[in-house]
Amino acid sequence: MKITEFGREELAVLEKELRAEYEKFAAMGLKLDMSRGKPSPEQLDKINGLLEVLDGGDYKTEAGVDTRNYGILDGIPEMKKIFSDLTGIPCDQIVVGGNSSLNLMFDAMMRLMVFGTEGNAPWKEQGKLKWLCPSPGYDRHFGVTELLGFEMIPVPMTENGPDMAVVEELAAKDPAVKGIWCVPLYSNPQGICYSDETVDRLASMKTAAEDFRIFWDNAYGVHHIYEERKLKDILSACKEAGNENRVFYFFSTSKITFPGAGVSMIASSPANVAEIRKAMTIQTIGSDKVNQLRHVRYFGNAENVKKHMAAMAETLRPKFDMVLDTLKEELDGTGLAFFNSPKGGYFVSVDTLPGCAKRTVALAKEAGVVMTGAGATYPYKKDPEDKNIRIAPTYPSLEELDKAIHLFCLCVKLAGVEKLLEK
Amino acid sequence: MKITEFGREELAVLEKELRAEYEKFAAMGLKLDMSRGKPSPEQLDKINGLLEVLDGGDYKTEAGVDTRNYGILDGIPEMKKIFSDLTGIPCDQIVVGGNSSLNLMFDAMMRLMVFGTEGNAPWKEQGKLKWLCPSPGYDRHFGVTELLGFEMIPVPMTENGPDMAVVEELAAKDPAVKGIWCVPLYSNPQGICYSDETVDRLASMKTAAEDFRIFWDNAYGVHHIYEERKLKDILSACKEAGNENRVFYFFSTSKITFPGAGVSMIASSPANVAEIRKAMTIQTIGSDKVNQLRHVRYFGNAENVKKHMAAMAETLRPKFDMVLDTLKEELDGTGLAFFNSPKGGYFVSVDTLPGCAKRTVALAKEAGVVMTGAGATYPYKKDPEDKNIRIAPTYPSLEELDKAIHLFCLCVKLAGVEKLLEK
């Protein structure tokens, strides 16, 4: 029987039990953190060789360019080749950036604000603009569109990606709707993978704005943990649909090599890449080529990147197992929480009963376990139903995670029972 | 007797001689380049140790932050300390960037365009704007303000920096004049060092625009070759004059370590730094900290940076000697060219007779020596008198430089004599 179907008395008894258990946890003086979507030290140690691969003094590309010096605006050819083989995007549609794909997204947005695209007026001159935000989603995406003054419109997620009926209607009717954030594979935080149909509908839908843009952040494109999910190539789909310039595609090695010192890329149609280069050639003389060469020398090719990610998956699987098994054991059948089982990426997403996310996170915090702030996965950090919580299992050790996720489940239940008793 | 005072017959004879000499050069099939303001391979080799200093697996800052992972928006404290000791700017007014200070300038300009500053309207919303461009100057600076649609106003240079009477008048009378580019030490291309008076006048002058900004690109702040010139601290001067927020100060290790893989910084008043951080925290999770740590471990402190630059000066001095001695021997007293003797930096600047720069560069090119394009040192690449040419002596070998600079002097003379014969 679901806890949500308990009578008041049963609930009162259960609350007492849960609170007693919670007090035991609280007394342990835990200091744990499940908020950080970043690799563990063990993951990073697996790739330290990257930092020594240039030892010995050969700093030239195959074509003989000295990576230490000025030159090459948009990335050394060998780095483009690896990105190309990983993403299926032709090399000449790829522009290599620095250590942050977020920065490439911000820059792309700033260019649209100041210069516009395809002869349309700069976005800064087009009045109040709107942006579609599949939610729950990535807080840093929402941060960019918030800073730039967009009205952010949450779009519900389905198991196949954003609810396309909603997206299509909003995009078609309002020219102020300028674009959409997408994390198409193992979405942050739910781990949802966009279906081929979703990709096709995004590529072919009618948009009232001529300069509607999809910001396609394939942050977890090779971050398979349990099985390898495929993602339909949106650049080709857009081209076939006659909307070749609709997508900016982002990818990086932040969670392949080092979050602090990886290599990022932006890719798009030839016309968009020409616009990117036009501004970029004024903005910089080029990104860090020595670091690109490090990545190229260390991996050699895309196949070895995939092998490395398989090894990363080995490290991550026990952590995801621990979290998912515990959620199942503790919460399945209670009616107090809903979660799906991601096959890759960096997160597990839990929906509590409506109105319980903040309370759950607060309870966890009081007992020494930091979670991502409730609401963080929604535009303006406002979860309309106060129910979504993002769990980041990668950074803590297994032992820490064990304690933390058990406490978390307890907090979900306690907050849920408290809520049911309010009625 | 100056060649400019020759009669027509003497000029005709001289032209014949010069042309014969030129044909000899042209027949040599030279392939030389004096256009590239970048370090030579020998300079870069002096610092290869930087790329191996992290060998061994200790990637943490003194405070225990793992530089490989996410975290720290604006630079590790140790890197700020080195920049602080080199520039005299307090650490908390410094924001560390990636490998390109040009990128920091572009970003600063884009923020002003989109967000404005100190509550003033964004520049993008303020109509047609203007920018002061001390000329000759750095083509990539002018490229930024050109792309952003500023009307660029050239300001003549004096031996103490830009002509301050002109700057003061333009800044005081027109609120559309929003700022000025400055390379205050060993300016590009003339090697001029701003006097204390120039710094004080820039800091204290009245500006019609409340949001007037000085972009202070101290690109050659520690790049002494013959003697160490001091630069007055403009941030303090602005503060004392009650214009604390007037300056953005840029610096980088591009020509200290590697142009392709160095570390940059932007510094400003506390209020401006708060504005920078506000946008930057949305733009990126932080610049490459591993590379910052490399720099910190390799140098240890600012004193060792200065020692390294003294060694760099040893490498560069014979090249600057070669260029300056040859210019003196070949052109002094001819009346056909004017040049000053920089004490540091990366360039030597030559003024030909008016109307002769393009012809000189074309003659050199035909004979196999590439110079920086004539006009490149002026806004819109238009040198109103067609006379300034930038020489970059650092990259070629001494042997190459010897041939190239002799050919260059010959071309200056030939172009000058041709011009005199036109009259």
| Residues on chain B touching A51 (C-beta within 8 angstroms) | 54-55, 59, 290
CB contact under 8 A, B284 and A38: no
CA–CA gap between residue A175 and residue A209 (Å, rounded): 4
The number of CA neighbours under 13 Å toward the Cβ of A281 is 10
pLDDT at B276: 98
Distance CA B195, CA B185 (A): 9
Q: Do A288 and B106 touch (CB under 8 A)?
A: no
Distinct helix (H) and strand (E) counts, chain B: 13, 13
Neighbouring CB atoms inside 10 A of B28's CB total 11
Is the Cβ of B52 closer than 8 Å to some Cβ of chain A? yes
Separation of alpha carbons A346 and A36, rounded Å: 10
- Give the closest-approach CA distance of A111 to chain B in angstroms: 9
B103 touches chain A (CB under 8 A): yes
Q: Which amino acid is at B210?
A: E
- What's residue A423's pLDDT? 84
* Min distance B218 CA to chain A CA atoms (Å): 17
Q: Is A85 on the interface with B (CB under 8 A)?
A: no
Q: How far is A331 from chain B (nearest CA, A)?
A: 32
pLDDT at B57: 85
Whether the CB of A149 is below 8 Å from some CB of chain B: the reply is no
Within 10 Å of residue A160's Cβ, how many Cβ atoms? 16
Does A121 lie at the interface with B, CB-CB under 8 angstroms?
A: no
Side-chain-side CA neighbours of B56 within 13 Å: the count stands at 7
- Record the tokens describing residue A207, joined without a space: 């948009």
Residues pairing with B266 in the sheet = B95, B250
Q: Is A258 on the interface with B (CB under 8 A)?
A: yes
Q: What is the pLDDT of residue A215?
A: 98
**With a CB-CB cutoff of 8 Å, which residues 290-329 of chain A face chain B?**
290-291
Distance CA(B157)–CA(A83), nearest Å, equals 47
Helix axes B101-115, A101-115, angle to 10 degrees: 50
Residues comprising chain A, all counted: 423
B69 to A38: CB separation less than 8 angstroms, yes or no:
yes
Token pair recorded at residue A211 = 């300069």
The amino acid sitting at B298 is Y
A259/B69 Cβ within 8 A: yes
pLDDT at A114: 98
The order of strands in the sheet holding B337-339 is B337-339, B348-352, B388-391
Contact present, A117 and A247 (Cβ < 8 Å): no
pLDDT, position A131: 98
Bond into B342 cis (ω within 30): no
Question: A52 to chain B: which residues are within 8 Å by CB?
Answer: 52, 54-55
Interchain contact B73–A (C-beta under 8 A): no
Q: How many CB atoms lie within 10 A of CB A182?
A: 28
Nearest CA in chain A to B101: A284
Q: Give yes or no for a cis peptide into A156 (omega within 30° of 0).
A: no
Interface probe, candidates A46, A288, A296, chain B, greatest B C-beta count within 10 A? A288
Residue A1 confidence (pLDDT): 84
* Chain A positions in Cβ-Cβ contact with residue B284 (cut-off 8 Å): 100, 102-103, 106
Provide the token pair at B128: 């047609």
Please give the helix or strand (H or E) that residue A337 lies within, else none: strand A337-339
Interchain CB distance below 8 Å, B68 and A261? yes
Range 364-383 of A in CB contact (< 8 A) with B:
none
Subunit contact B289:A260, Cβ cutoff 8 A: yes
- Count how many pairs of residues, chain A against chain B, have C-beta atoms within 8 Å: 159
All residues of chain B having their beta carbon less than 8 Å from the beta carbon of residue A100 are 284-287
Strands B348-352 and B337-339: antiparallel
Closest CA to B264 of B250, B278, B274, B276: B250
Closest Cα partner for B124 from A124, A108, A117? A124
Nearest to B69 among A39, A103, A146 (CB): A39
* Mean pLDDT in order along chain B per 10 residues (423 residues): 95 98 95 93 95 94 97 97 98 97 98 98 97 98 98 98 98 98 98 98 98 98 96 98 98 96 98 98 96 98 98 97 98 96 97 98 97 96 97 96 97 98 91
* Residues of chain A falling short of pLDDT 50: none
Q: Closest Cα to residue A19, out of A391, A418, A421?
A: A418
Looking up tokens 């190229």 gives A296
In chain A, positions 23-42, which contact chain B (CB-CB < 8 Å)? 36, 38-39, 41
What pLDDT is recorded for position B33? 92
List the strands of the sheet with A388-391, edge to edge.
A337-339, A348-352, A388-391
Contact (CB<8Å) A291/B289: no
